[in-house]
Chain A
Amino acid sequence: MGKRKQPLDLLQGTLDLLILRTLQKEPQHGWAIAERIEEISEHVLEINQGSLYPALHRLEHEGWIKAEWSTSELGRRARFYHLTASGRKQLDLESHQWDRMTAAIGRILRMA
């Protein structure tokens, strides 16, 4: 992968948002979440497993997502996470905040 650009470090707190957003459509297991984020971001964002799993457990601890064991597409048992009602609310809240912040930062970058 030598010549590819160095992936970006995630901003503090954005991983939670990305996970919640990834889970919005359907339940996923940890591996798929990481793959999906990397894919959609065209490998700009690379998820570090050292922070993905603690983040998943943190979100579960907060009650925003829930985990269940079920069979993966390859017939192997995996832990699938899905959004809870309060998780959806949290996602709305955080994406709204994210929009406001990026808009603000963008304005400053353009105008200042």
Chain B
Amino acid sequence: MKWSDLWLRLRALVFRNRMEQELQGEVDFHVEMMIRKNVARGMSADEARRQAAIKFGSPPAVLEGCRDERRVNVVYGLWNDVRYAFRQFRRSPAFVAVCIVSLACGIGVNTAIFSIVNAALLRPLAFPQPDRLIAVYSVNAAPGGRLWPAAPADFRDWREQSRAIENLAAYASGSLSLRFGDRTEEFRASRVTANFFETFGVQPMLGRGFEPADDLSQTPNIVLSHRLWQSRFDGDPLIVGKQIQTASGALTVAGVMPPEFKFPSSPDLWTPIGCCVEIGRRAVRYWQTVGRLRDGQSVETAQAELQAIARHLGELYSKDNSGWSAQVVPLDKAVVRDVRDPLWILMGAVVFVIVIACANVAGLILARSVSRRREIMTRMALGAHRWRIVRQLFVEGLLISLFGAVAGLLLARWSIGALFQLLPETAFTSLNRFREGVKLDGTVLLFTVAMSMLTAVVLTLTPVWDSLKAGLVESFRTAGPKTQTRREHRLYRLLVMGQFACAIVLLAGAGLLVQSFVRMLNVDYGYDPQGLSVMGLPQPAQNRETFVAQVLERIHGVPGVESAAVMSYDLFGGLNFPFNIENQPFPTGDVIIRYSSVTPDYFKVLKSRLVAGRRFDARDSPNSPGVAIINESLSRQYFSDRDPIGQRIVLSYNNQRIPREIIGVTSDVRQDAPGEPIKPEILVPWAQLPWMSATLVFRAEGEPLRTQKLVQEAIWSVDKNLPPGRARSLEEIHSSQVATPRLYMILISLFSAMAMMLAAVGIYGLFASIVTRRSNEMAIRVTMGACRPSILWMVIGEGIRLSVAGIMLGLVGAIALARLMRSLLFEVSPTDPFTLGSGTLLLLAVALVACYIPARRAAKTDPMVALRHE
């Protein structure tokens, strides 16, 4: 391209008005000169003007010719296309509204879900060199072995022996009560090894982190989170080195972490894990690990090395470690272990929604392009190039998808906020961890833009492809606008069929999740949750035995309280310990088993059934022989061939093996969320094994908040220095346990409702178009004596046939895809016939209603009106 050329083009663009004026001025001058000449020849002024106009021809055509020569028409043309498209849109606002709403739904949900996927799965962890970070798990060689945390002793051996891992740190959950004046408050603490922060490569923003000395003895150092530092210490810049009081002594602030560091699950503060106390434990696995690979080492080399180390440990400590290996997992994978599958499933679901939305809009455009044939024929007759028409269609498709994208972005912005409202903050799920990271950032916007461009291409290509198949010109030439050809609606029919196929896949998925959720809500907990509450029970440093007895006695006096008991840790079977049978030890060594230490009234509070033997009572004192009660699951699993009563088991605890006699079997109590199986569990009397962390469980009538307050006062009447415990009703706990499945269920149901509505609009649009195009045929049928119901049924029958075909196609896909979501299902088979059947019926009903409206219109055709219209 020459410079002058570029300049002219630029000038043409920038000084468009000036150039137009110049052109116009030139033409005007020419015409004027012609008139003068004519006048000079003796014509009258009017005749001179008339002859000049005749001779000159059409000024716009001349101007258009000049613009063409200047090659600025592409730009003008595009601008004209846009204006023309807007004119078209104004003429059919309903069409545009349906298109934009359809695309907004599709693009909106895709953007919203993608922003979560982006935050949780795509964005790298916010630590230096995040790809070097790993987690190491214990894994049992047994088939289907899940990943376990590490035993402290195993962790120490891994750390000492591994060369591939530069830094291996451990962390465990804990809590800490800090005293502010006369108030005591409990905070979530993460207990960590001294190298924890160093492993992440993150420095405290104030002070130092922990030092190796913190590992050796449990030093009274703590590191504050930015949040706690701000909220409780007003961001005191001199906080480092200051003392904070607790119930059991003073702690020193060793540092404050930067606001973005929240590992593992946004704790309030970090404390030393105190290696010296727990590091000898090999049988209990409860330390989580995080490590950094040495440069040049890969996950695979670390895996091979740790496997060898674990094998060696298995030989050395066959009692605790035989059959156990180690598994190295990249940290970014490890932190999203439980949300990855659900998120990809959700992403898959919303892709179905956008496909249905696109098919919907493509169908509408197709129907319109059929009725716009006359217009397009006219334009082609006037000399419009074929690609000009295609460009016009593309501009229209692009505009529609741009509007859809903008509306979709607004929808996504709003729905991301709403989505997390569905997830209570108390529900501990790893999805919650990404709450703050979910936003419409550049990646998400890029995704949205790419999606709307793709949409525009699909929307343009559909009518073009449809026409090309018949030959563009032919298709525009054939038939007047009122005759129906079979071929004409074939692509539209396929689109609607595809919509129904996609919709049934989503409906089937939603149905399965709803079924699962209903079953979760109706799951048998093995106890009556009505009126049941639990409350953390902090214990004083001294006289714990008498303290618990006193507290229980006072609580029994609280009005409304029916019964109360104390159990170890925070919920049923909250601890895991190795056990064995004394006379017939398992050949593979000890088995890890759920375990609780409980006061005698525990069974009465839960209203659990005694299956055999007796319950704990006053006979079971610290000095009497050790006893235990097992649950039905344990009895079934390990004593299926004999009476468990009187059998002796061994519990390993603190490197001691304590034998106990089974005195009773109690009915199963569900320890975990409904999705988890009921685990074998051992219960021992509190008197024989009091536990440092205790939980009060009580059943009360009346207003829970008031009762909880009275119970708290009863505890303080025994020891007023204790921090308050947090009380929760079992119903609250259950609802937070199912909060995540509930979220997935709501989302997928929402998506499938959208899919169903879009499919309904799709089939409605198809038949509305068919009925309009066939109004002649209908009129003739009526004239020839067809009764109206037969016409009604003819149209509805066609609709049903079409939707059934789509649904059948979709069911095959639904059955194939449902297996992928097995991990989200609870007590429901992926091919549950009831779910698939009811989804099919629902969708058919919707299709029926959607076809009925145009069908009724067809049946009401007045032959005179329809034929006269021709």
Contact = CB atoms under 8 A, between A and B. Distances in A.
Contacts of A79: 22, 25-26, 29
A61 B8 contact: yes
B71 A54 contact: no
Contacts of B33: 31
A30 B57 contact: no
A76 B30 contact: no
A43 interface: no
Nearest to A72: B29
B70 A30 contact: no
> Which of A53, A60, A74, A78 gathers the greatest number of chain B CB atoms within 10 Å?
A53
Contacts of B56: 49
B28 to A, nearest CB: 10
Contact of B65 (A51, A76, A78): A51
Interface in A53-93: 53-58, 60-61, 63, 69, 72, 74, 76-79
A78 B32 CA distance: 11
> Which of B25, B61, B69, B70 gathers the greatest number of chain A CB atoms within 10 Å?
B69
A89 to B, nearest CB: 15
B522 interface: no
Contacts of B34: 31
A50 B69 contact: no
Contacts of A36: none
What class of interface size applies to chain B in its complex with A?
Answer: 20 to 34
B5 interface: yes
Contacts, number: 64
A5 B195 CA distance: 105
Given A50-B62, A54-B62, A61 B26 contact: no
B66 interface: yes
Contact of A48 (B22, B36, B57): B57
Contact of A77 (B4, B25, B68, B71): B25
B38 to A, nearest CB: 12
B26 A50 contact: no
Contacts of A72: 29
Contacts of B62: 49-50, 53-54
A54 B69 contact: yes
Contacts of A60: 8
Interface in B24-81: 25-27, 29-30, 32-34, 36, 55-58, 61-63, 65-66, 68-71
Contacts of A57: 66, 69-70
Prevailing SS type, chain B contact patch: helix
Interface in A30-47: 30-31, 34
What class of interface size applies to chain A in its complex with B?
Answer: 20 to 34
A53 B70 contact: no
A69 B30 CA distance: 14
A42 B731 CA distance: 106
A53 B61 CA distance: 11
A63 B5 contact: yes
A63 B22 contact: no
B4 A54 contact: no
A34 B37 CA distance: 13
B71 A61 contact: yes
B2 interface: yes
B65 A50 contact: yes
Nearest to A29: B29
Contacts of B22: 69, 79
Interface in B1-20: 2, 4-5, 8
Contacts of A53: 23, 26-27, 30, 62-63, 65-66
Interface string B675-696: 0000000000000000000000
A49 B65 CA distance: 10
Contacts of A51: 65
Contacts of B2: 63
A29 B27 CA distance: 11
A93 B58 CA distance: 34
Contact of A58 (B26, B63, B69): B69
B622 to A, nearest CB: 106
Contact of A30 (B8, B26, B65): B26
Nearest to B4: A63
B29 A61 contact: no
A61 B65 contact: no
A58 B36 CA distance: 28
A61 B27 contact: no
B372 to A, nearest CB: 30
Contacts of A34: 30
A60 B29 CA distance: 19
Contacts of B4: 61, 63
Contacts of A29: 26, 29
A26 B100 CA distance: 61
A9 B257 CA distance: 88
Contacts of A54: 62, 65-66, 68-69
A57 B70 CA distance: 7
Interface of B: 2, 4-5, 8, 22-23, 25-27, 29-30, 32-34, 36, 55-58, 61-63, 65-66, 68-71
Given A53-B63, A56-B66, A77-B29, 5 more contacts: A31-B33, A48-B57, A49-B30, A50-B58, A60-B8
6 smallest CB-CB distances across A and B, nearest first, come from A54-B65, A57-B69, A31-B33, A58-B69, A57-B66, A63-B4
12 contacts: A29-B29, A30-B30, A49-B30, A49-B62, A50-B61, A50-B62, A51-B65, A53-B27, A53-B65, A54-B65, A61-B69, A63-B5
